[in-house]
Every structure is written in C-alpha cells, then in structure tokens.
Amino acid sequence: MHELIRTNDPVLLSFAESLMKDAGIHCFIADQGMSVLEGSLGMLPRRFLVEDERADQARRILTDAGLGDELRPVRG
C-alpha cells in the first residue's frame, strides 16, 4: 500500500475514500484504532493508503478534486 495523505480530518478522509471507491481503487485508512489510545481527541493523524500499482492514478484523481495540497511528497 502507498500512503497518499496523512491527516486527522475525517471529512477529508471520507471524501478521498469516496473518490477512490468511484474510481474502483482499493484504499485503506490506517491508524483509525489509535483513537482508543488518544481518548478520541483526533490528535493523531490517520494515513490514507491506496494500492501501489494504482498510486499514480489515485494521486491524479485527488489532485483533480482539489486535494493536491494534502498529498504526501512523491517517494523516489
């Protein structure tokens, strides 16, 4: 899995997840269970992950939807 976004904004994550679902790209939001440890304060960021082989396509979709500033840097 390839990390594209790291945030604690649940609305942003939901929007990104919806975009991936519409495109047929499998995604996963990691670290959701961390809220138990932090007391549900929403301080710890969640990681938005997509399939490695479709990461470039997912990045384009998110950028086209106006989320380009939220994307993690491209790893080399």
pLDDT, averaged in runs of 10, over the chain (76 residues) = 94 97 97 65 85 97 98 84
CATH number of 8-70: 3.30.70.790
Looking from the CA of 18 toward its CB, the CA atoms found within 13 Å total: 8
pLDDT at res. 68 = 97
Q: 52, exposed or middle or buried, with CB in 10 Å at 0-12, 13-18, 19+?
A: exposed
Rounded to two decimals, the pTM is 0.85
Both tokens of residue 32? 């959701």
Domain locations in the chain as residue ranges: 8-70
CA distance to 14, 17, 44, 57, per residue, from 8 (Å): 11, 14, 6, 23
